[in-house]
Amino acid sequence: MTVPVFRFAPSSNGALHLGHAYSAMLNYRLARKADGRFLLRIEDIDTSRCSPEREQAIYRDLEWLGIEWELPVRRQSDHFEDYRAALDRLEDANLIYPSFMTRGDLRAFIAEAEAEGTLWPRDPDGAPLFPSLDRERSPSERKRLIANGAPFAWRLDIENACAALGHGIDWDEEGAGPQGQTGLIPADPRAWGDVVIARKETPTSYHLAVTVDDAVQGITHVVRGRDLFFATAVHRLIQELMGLPVPRYHHHALIRDLDGRKLSKSQGDTGIAALRQAGATPADIARMVGLDEVT
Ligand code: GLU
């Protein structure tokens, strides 16, 4: 029998809050219950917002919570070559293209399209789908723009990618989606349009790095917040395109603040370090997020 492998994968762009504590503790408890392994991964591809100090603060908070993880920790910024190799494969298969539209261009384009009265389609997070303009550029035009130093991002050609696959995909959901979806979930990557798969200076995006890393680390159980439920469709598509193993997924409830809002990194009063300094114990944190004390 294969040993179950769980992971907690925070981004080191801010401090851990109660939502992270819940995710980390839940993963850790599930791993122990299953006699499995528990790994930690630092998602720091955005090197402008992530820092070694923030990474150290994450270790301190997790240690204080009583969580133990295997060493070495996988730090994404140490593995850009892995993501570049994956990106090269997608490029060789003609499944990605450089997009040159800036945020401003995109806003203006959507506003103009919507001024004519039709609502532009949105992805599951509510962002407008990327228009086809850049996808339709000729190879010579792309070359010229890149040679001129135009900034660009690599996007997945979602229609081509789904066509290359030629069959539907799904995943095994052991938690639940926002509408209580559970069991075998049909994946709908088209709902996201042409997602960003890498940036000009960074050979990856969240979607690519998370998928490559879950495979490299042999993760069998992805336990994470329900806000990533629909994004799983993109991860499943990348797994299929690259022949990667498929973990089980468990999307858990999100911890909300008293007003029902999602917690953010800037909300000091729900930060683990702030709660610790205010005298809370790890058992208090477990109770606050609805986990009982005993693992
Ligand atoms: N790094 C992501 C976050 O902090 C989580 C990624 C994942 O668990 O798949 O939201």
pLDDT > 70: percent of the chain? 97
| Residue 281 covered by a domain | yes
Percentage of the chain lying above the pLDDT 90 cut: 91
Average pLDDT, rounded, for the chain: 95
Predicted pLDDT of residue 151:
95
Q: Average pLDDT, stretch 162-188?
A: 97
85 and 67, same domain (yes or no):
no
Domain shared by 106 and 206, yes or no:
yes
pLDDT band at 293 (very low <50, low <70, confident <90, very high): low
Average pLDDT over residues 27-44: 98
Tell me, in angstroms, the distance from the centre of ligand 1 to residue 95's CA: 25
Residue 186: partners with Cβ closer than 8 Å, 6 or more residues away: 168, 169, 170
pLDDT at 267 over 90: no
Co-location of 105 and 26 in the same domain: no
Give the residue from 162, 187, 217 where a domain finishes: 217
Residues 38 and 66 in one domain: yes
Tell me how far the alpha carbon of residue 140 lies from the centroid of ligand 1, in angstroms: 37
Rounded to the nearest angstrom, the distance between the alpha carbon of 224 and the centre of ligand 1 is 7
Amino acid type, 170: D
Query: Is 265's pLDDT higher than 70?
Result: no
- Name the residue at shortest CA distance from atom 6 of ligand 1: 9
Asked whether residue 231 is domain-assigned, the answer is no
**pLDDT score recorded for residue 261:** 76
Q: Which residue is closest in CA terms to ligand 1's atom 4? A: 10
Compute the chain's Rg from CA coordinates: 20
Banded pLDDT at 295 (limits 50, 70, 90): very low
Q: Which of 10-19, 149-158, 252-261 has the lowest mean pLDDT?
A: 252-261
Closest ligand 1 atom to 10 CA: 4
Q: What is the mean pLDDT of residues 89-104?
A: 97
Q: Ligand 1 pocket by C-beta < 6 Å: which residues? A: 9-11, 43, 210, 224, 228
The answer to the question of residue 224 being in a domain is: no
Give a yes or no: residue 43 inside a domain: yes
How confident is residue 268, by pLDDT bands cut at 50, 70 and 90?
low
Mutational pocket test of ligand 1: of 211, 216, 228, 239, the residue with most ligand atoms within 8 Å of the beta carbon: 228
Q: DSSP assignment of the chain, as one string?
A: -PPPEEEE--BSSS--BHHHHHHHHHHHHHHHHTT-EEEEEEB---TTT--HHHHHHHHHHHHHTT----SSPEEGGG-HHHHHHHHHHHHHTT-EEEE---HHHHHHHHHHHHHTTPPPPB-TTSPBPPPSTTTT--HHHHHHHHHTT---EEEE-HHHHHHHH-S--EEEESS--TT---EEEE--GGGG-S-EEEESSSS--HHHHHHHHHHHTT--EEEEEGGGTTTHHHHHHHHHHHT----EEEEEPPPB-TTSPBP-TT-GGGBHHHHHHTT--HHHHHHHTT--S--
Report CA(32)–ligand 1 centroid distance (Å). Answer: 21
Q: Which residue's CA lies nearest to atom 3 of ligand 1?
A: 10
Q: Between 256 and 82, whose confidence is greater?
A: 82
Residue 247 in any domain: the answer is: no
Q: Give me the CATH number covering residue 34.
A: 3.40.50.620
Total count of domains within the chain? 2
Residue of minimum CA distance from atom 2 in ligand 1? 10
Give the structural domain span for 121.
Answer: 80-217
What CATH number corresponds to the domain at position 86? 3.90.800.10
User: What is the arithmetic mean of pLDDT over 100-111?
Assistant: 95
Q: What is the mean pLDDT of residues 66-70?
A: 98
C-alpha span between 118 and 187 (Å, rounded) = 27
* pLDDT value at residue 262: 75
Ligand 1 centre and the CA of 253: distance in Å? 14
Which has the closest alpha carbon to 265: 9, 10, 7, 8? 10
Residue 239: is its pLDDT beyond 60? yes
Task: Indicate whether 105 and 17 sit together in one domain.
Answer: no
Same domain, 159 and 107: yes
